[in-house]
Amino acid sequence: MPVLEEIKEALMAGNANKVREAVTRAVEEGVPPGTIINDGLIAAMNIIGVKFKNNEVYVPEVLVAARAMHAGMDVVKPLLTGDALQEKGTMVIGTVKGDLHDIGKNLVIMMMEGAGFKMIDLGIDVPPEKFIQAVEEYKPQVVGLSALLTSTMMQMKKTVEALAPYRHAIKVIVGGAPVTQKFAEEIGADGYAPDAASAVDKVKELLGLA
Ligand code: B1M
């Protein structure tokens, strides 16, 4: 089997050791690092994303696939020079103030990284000021807000309002179990995604990369 196919199969099976081994072999065979990432690791993670969206795989499978992807990235990242890793963009993400839930947010991060985005994770319980600081520091194209409590959804609104001066340069996407498309529109967010795989699609759509 060609080595890129081996990488994809091992990643989709969530086998981090096999991914590490196959990526190492691909490097030894002279496959360019960018090809390993884009046609091996990211391609497999995209397939996992589609399966997750279609309920063919579930949270645990996504987490082990993401862990396997990181194992492969660890091998190949030191070899990257210049623009071999064509990042599609930068996204700042956090769970809003007062909210400590982060499992869904972390899944979004893994999927976005799998799709080639640089992710800046601000963690949980993130006040609007911290989002603003991060926007100024990292100059992202997208800011993602996660909330799992009906009581913290209003923090999303406050954060979107606080980001108003930066909206010419950033898109804001919101998500989390109680969040809806209607709510996203009401608070003036650019996009809403019901799950991690859809978040990738929505961000790509907002940035004109779809
Ligand atoms: Co909490 N909790 N919790 N909890 N908790 C819920 C959310 C709840 C629905 C349980 C219930 O009552 N049935 C309820 C909220 C009720 C409400 O407000 N409507 C609740 C409550 C009440 C609370 C506490 C108040 C309980 C208490 O202390 N009395 C407390 C609040 C703490 C706080 O935040 N201040 C609390 C605490 C906790 C734990 C710390 C114990 C733990 C969190 C651990 C952690 O995250 N590290 C926890 C958990 C685990 C849950 C449940 C059981 C599971 C949440 C989860 O991780 N789901 C949850 C009940 C449930 O949902 N069944 C519950 C799996 C995850 C993959 O899904 O997060 O929805 P989800 O993410 C999805 C999508 O929503 C979307 O993509 C993800 C992947 O597909 N998504 C985005 C998420 N963020 C996105 C951002 C995007 C796009 C998509 O763009 C930026």
Residues flanking ligand 1, CB < 6 Å:
59, 93, 98-105, 107-108, 144-146, 148-151, 173-178, 193, 195-196, 199
- Cα-flanking dihedrals φ and ψ of residue 166, to 5°? -105, 0
Q: pLDDT value at position 110?
A: 81
Which protein residue has the closest C-alpha to ligand 1 atom 88? 175
pLDDT of residue 52: 87
What is 90-206's CATH number? 3.40.50.280
Ligand 1 centroid to residue 30 C-alpha, Å: 45
Which residue lies with its CA nearest to atom 48 of ligand 1? 101
CB 147 within 8 A of CB 192: no
Average pLDDT, consecutive stretches of 10 residues, N- to C-terminus, the chain (210 residues): 94 96 96 87 88 91 91 85 68 98 87 88 98 98 98 98 98 97 98 92 94
Domain with CATH 3.40.50.280 in the chain: 90-206
Residue with tokens 């992710």: 119
Q: What is the pLDDT of residue 203?
A: 97
Distance CA 194, CA 192 (A): 7
Q: What is the pLDDT of residue 114?
A: 79
pLDDT score, position 86? 62
- Superfamily of domain 2-79 in CATH is Methionine synthase domain (1.10.1240.10)
- Give pTM, 2 decimals: 0.85
pLDDT at residue 81, rounded to an integer: 58
